[in-house]
Amino acid sequence: MHFNRVFAAAFAATLLCGAHAANANARLESCPGNPLAPAQTPIVEIDTRGSDAHGGARYGTMQYRSTAPLGPKQVALTFDDGPDPSNTKRILDILDSHCIKATFFMVGWYAKARPDLVREVAARGHTIGTHTWLHHNLRRLPEASAQREIARGFEAMEQALSTAPAQDRARLAPFFRFPGLNDKTSLITWLGTKDIATLSCDFGADDWKGIAGAQIRARALRNIASVGSGILILHDTKPQTAAMLDGLIRDLRARGYSFVQLAPKRAAPAIAETPDISSLGLRSTQ
């Protein structure tokens, strides 16, 4: 596997080169499924290079000091733990109906089982981040094992997208989210050496607790209002999340919120110079 190939110019060329023009067009066109919404989701670029002494870019005020550079009342939707054969496509259809692009943090094992869903998420224009291979709590693993968990997750996405068109392969971003948000400074630093950003969130909705859709929706609205803007964490493995998503989007728009898509900034030259993660001895996820 070659991290460097995945995150170099491909993503920037296919996703970001036309970002400003696309955003301008979005102001002129309406979403076919919702005439009150823009036809395209504005892109917010994330710098994946760390800027402090510890190294490793980190976003999300639930855990860190800074978050993605969103404007007032802007929300970035993110979904964890998929791809899920029962719910991911349903969520994709809802997002399509509102012309919203999101970020999906996928688990490698599930990507291996359903690479077709990984490719569909990419084909529909969403950003793909990773969420380890088996969704382990990385704080409980030895350092080398935790690094391997992360690396295998990235490799699984690369393999799932290997037969996809180039523009879809480029949807795989240098974004990582710790399972359960159980981060570890040494791993954030290690990710930073490869220009991979750690994305937490600014608010959640507790959909992982198995509560009803109405409760998820109410908690999301309350938590978003308390912060104002930022990254929302949801789970595309939860049927109650899919059930409430359309209503949540409509409620947020009625309250003056808009949606943005997260994407990495143009690849830094350092990416080509960092050690390939295949130095961990990985060859495949078989």
Specify the DSSP class assigned to residue 275.
P
DSSP, res 167: H
Gap between the Cα atoms of 267 and 105, Å rounded: 20
Summarize the confidence of residues 106-128 as an average pLDDT. 98
pLDDT at 52: 57
The pLDDT value recorded for residue 51 is 63
Calculate mean pLDDT across residues 37-58.
Answer: 85
For residue 226, give the amino acid letter: S
State percent of the chain over pLDDT 90. Answer: 77
Find all residues with CB under 8 Å of 52, minimum gap 6, and list them: none
Length of the chain: 286
* pLDDT bucket at 5, cuts 50 / 70 / 90: very low
Quick check: 143 and 233 in contact, CB under 8 A?
no
Mean pLDDT, all residues of the chain: 87
The predicted structure's pLDDT at residue 23: 47
Q: Residue 276: is its pLDDT beyond 70?
A: no
Average pLDDT over residues 102-124: 98
Rounded to whole angstroms, the Cα distance separating 264 from 13 reads 11
For 171-204, how does the pLDDT look when each residue is reduced to its tens digit (9 = 90+)?
Answer: 999 999 999 999 999 999 999 999 999 999 999 9
Examine the pLDDT at 72 and tell me if it is beyond 50.
Answer: yes
Task: Report, as an integer, the average pLDDT of 79-99.
Answer: 97
Which amino acid, one-letter code, is at 253?
Answer: R
Four-way CATH pick for 3-280: 3.40.50.170, 3.40.640.10, 3.90.420.10, 3.20.20.370 = 3.20.20.370
pLDDT, tens only, 210-229: 999 999 999 999 999 999 99
The rounded percent of the chain whose pLDDT value lies above 70 is: 81
Distance in angstroms (rounded) separating the CA atoms of residues 46 and 169: 19
Domain boundaries, the chain: 3-280
pLDDT tens digit string along 243-274?
Answer: 999 999 999 999 999 999 999 995 433 333 33
Is residue 283 classed as helix, strand or coil in its secondary structure? coil
**To the nearest 10°, the Cα dihedral for 4, 5, 7, 11?**
160
Q: What is the pTM of this model?
A: 0.87
Confidence of residue 242 (pLDDT cuts 50, 70, 90): very high
What does the pLDDT read at residue 157? Answer: 97
pLDDT at 156 over 50: yes
What distance in Å separates the CA atoms of residue 40 and residue 33, rounded to the nearest whole number?
Answer: 12
Res. 24 pLDDT band, cuts 50 70 90? very low
In eight-state DSSP terms, residue 231 is E
Structure token pair of residue 68: 């993605």
Which pLDDT value is given to residue 184?
96
Instruction: Name which residue leads in pLDDT, 240 or 10.
Output: 240
The mean pLDDT value for 36-42 works out to: 93
pLDDT beyond 50 at 6: no
85-109 average pLDDT score: 98
Residue 284 has pLDDT above 60, yes or no: no
